Structure 1
């Protein structure tokens, strides 16, 4: 059975304007070095600048591997619970039901394109955003839609999912930052214990 291996990463650290920082470039480079040991067939990225640049830097470590945009990887809120749990009210302040419907449409497009078996053995790298990584993990685990809310994700952390015709999706690696030195882990999440 051919396996579709998805190696999913959040973009590197970005500034408040959405541009990759020097730290983010280093994170992406180290992620690329880690992935260079795999037979990567393609690198797909979100259309947003922080993901585009991360994919370019990462892709430089994978000579000959095509790097291309996938609109389905764009940053968006994939699902808003209704009713909204009080603990999340501030997080979703300003979101309306029309935006929620568009987010659900984008989330469905993301899973339809990438969260499925392939016809041949393939290794694809997806450079996207924290919410999209969480959504793909939630989908692979067949967890309720609101479960994506509790899945934090580090910059340039690696998650690997596998899809085959003969079984359910498998979560192989989640939020792995072993390729990053301690000072580059959890960038963007404020003060916290760092693994």
Structure 2
């Protein structure tokens, strides 16, 4: 049985201009240390600077592993639900999105799934790929793996450099191995990217 292992991570903490902060660089480095014992084949990153910088920072711990941009990983809204399927607290979030923007987001989301959420053929080798991306893209891939309705990407958030793992195995549905795991981060670097509140 062939397995495609996807290691998904949101970029490190960034400033208001989208640039990685010192804390974000440390988060990415610690994620790289965690992944260093795995046979990583490639690191893919979103075109946005915070994701690219995070990818190169973590890749310092993965000698000779290629790092490359993947346009499908860019930050975007993957699916705009109808008002009837939108929780009341989210209704204002989608104000101002027109049909063209919704179609563009869904097209990118479909391309993301087509490229990275593919079950391998039986004659392919196992692969281990790191995707450094954004919270919405991780949520969309989780939703897809669960075969959940499109609107279920709402409410799935990821902390900066938290690790999510999905395995795609020949002949089986996808397996969510872990979601939003922050065990590689010390307490003061956890939960960035979430609203400030008491956390365990």
TM-score normalized with structure 1 length: 0.97
* Alignment deviations for residues 45-73 of structure 1 (CA, whole Å, 9 cap, x no partner): 00000000000001011011000001110
Q: What CA distance in whole angstroms lies between the structure 2 residues aligned with 1:193 and 1:2? A: 41
TM alignment of 1:145-156, pairs within 5 A: 145-156=150-161
* Matches of 1:164 and 1:188, distance apart in 2: 31
Q: Could you tell me which residue of structure 2 aligns to residue 177 of structure 1?
A: 182
State the SS of the aligned residue for 2:177.
Answer: strand
Structure 1 residue 120, shift from structure 2 partner:
1.6
Confirm or deny that 1:45 pairs with 2:45.
yes
C-alpha distance in structure 2 between counterparts of 1:186 and 1:165, whole Å: 34
TM-score between the two structures when normalised by the length of structure 2:
0.95
Alignment deviations for residues 94-137 of structure 1 (CA, whole Å, 9 cap, x no partner): 21121111100000000000001232200000000000000000
1:76 Cα shift? Answer: 0.3
Which residue matches 2:91? 89
SS at match of 1:105: helix
Judge conservation of contact 1:138–1:147 (CA < 8 Å) in 2.
yes
Greater shift, 76-85 or 55-64, is seen at 76-85
In structure 2, the residue matched to 1:75 is 75
Match of 1:133, SS state, is helix
Which residue number in structure 2 is paired with residue 139 of structure 1? Answer: 144
Q: CA RMSD in A?
A: 1.0
Structure 2 counterparts to residues 9-158 of structure 1, below 5 A: 9-83=9-83, 85=86, 86-118=88-120, 119-158=124-163
Separation in structure 1 between the aligned mates of residue 95 and residue 189 of structure 2, nearest angstrom = 30
Contact 2:9 2:132 in 1 (8 A): yes
User: 4+ runs of 1 displaced by more than 3 Å?
Assistant: none
Q: Specify the SS of the correspondent of 1:89.
A: helix
Structure 2: unaligned runs, 5 residues or longer: none
SS at match of 1:111: helix
